[in-house]
Structure 1
């Protein structure tokens, strides 16, 4: 190591087929002073498949130790080390360890770069057959049923295509919750084992996908859901406006921000949504 500050390299790894590994990955694995891996055993299998030998120190960096290990890696970077961060599949930080280390490096004004690689989010989105011009990534839905419903209700009116990760044993329950909140006819695609031997993309309405998943689904799962249709302002009564504001308030938004968000969502003046909320509040007061 030298006195010159080092560099943090975020490297994308294959999400299935090892042949998809970016060409630069092998060189980075060979040259890094430190390789921080989510699973060192998986890293060993990857290096063997690529025919590369790591010359630097290999350390584990996963959810259970990233808080404790981040300061150590930051000091190594400040001392001139080239630190390579890899996760089990895809790009570090995207529903994987990495964000904490990147944020700490940025706070210290240390250089961060990336080796782009395969992405389950973008691969599933491209294969889904759903609109790709605007989308948002929602990560893993909460495990608890109540929290999951609450999170889904927050985005019930989202016009952009939604992308989720999900564990196979929770897929059926999550699809059922999505059908309940978004509607059984909302189009979606379940992408399973992307780039692997048994890759499958199942498309249909959420209700259909709930039935399909009832007997269990295996593999790595990415779910893509069509965004909400454009609301017809004339078709929305005051009760629906009040309901949408209430959902946002229950999710933690202040009333003023919730009213503004609903107004923008449905294409109405903020005053009209505000008046609906005030009228509902007055109607709920007990008679004198």
Structure 2
């Protein structure tokens, strides 16, 4: 079973989850926004060293504590590395009071029926065992909805819950992330189909079992209220989905019971060229604003 103190922190949800889980494909963009150009590294190893340095700087900043940041999602390589002489998950929980999660998906399949399912994860059981041993509380897996297609959305939700069951069996808390692309014309229709499918699968969970849900900010405020209130849901968290931080915060604040799980919106404005004082002030402002939006509902 997941750590009980971590469970209590997530149930209270008095803050937000930092998404520090950019993978190989999104790392160059994340580094570029941070002021590290692609000519600053020539190998993947150097690139991952630089992104870890950025993440470690965020985690070690005075503002990054469990008072406002209740959890953090890590990339697998980040879990395997150290921060201030400790394994990352240990550092987060013991030194910062931040609950550690692990991104487990291995990317997306080609689109079919308006959605992109997750690629197979043949080594998942071994990864989950390593995560549990390393102090990880839960996991996150992402798939993408690009159209209001009932068949595709049912396939996405069924896959998410099947993988979620595997994670629960390993003693970890699953964050299911069926992301609706924010730019699609039929986004509200897709969200209606998604909620219906999620509720149907939630109703089939064994009594007392819970998952977390990570969803795109909805078109209509409080659209996901039935999910927030469902006994099978520990917490609903929202991704920024490409919205700038101020816009994402404004939408989030209109949705009761949902907290943020932002990535780009969290690191917006941070730069490798900033002094520690400048970096800490910029991050502190970001954390305060996302925390305020998360608890507004």
TM-score category of the 2 structures, normalised to the smaller one: under 0.3
TM-score (structure 2 length as normaliser):
0.26
Q: Which has the higher contact order (CA 8 A, sep 6+)?
A: 2
TM-score (norm 1): 0.27
Rg comparison, structure with higher value: 1
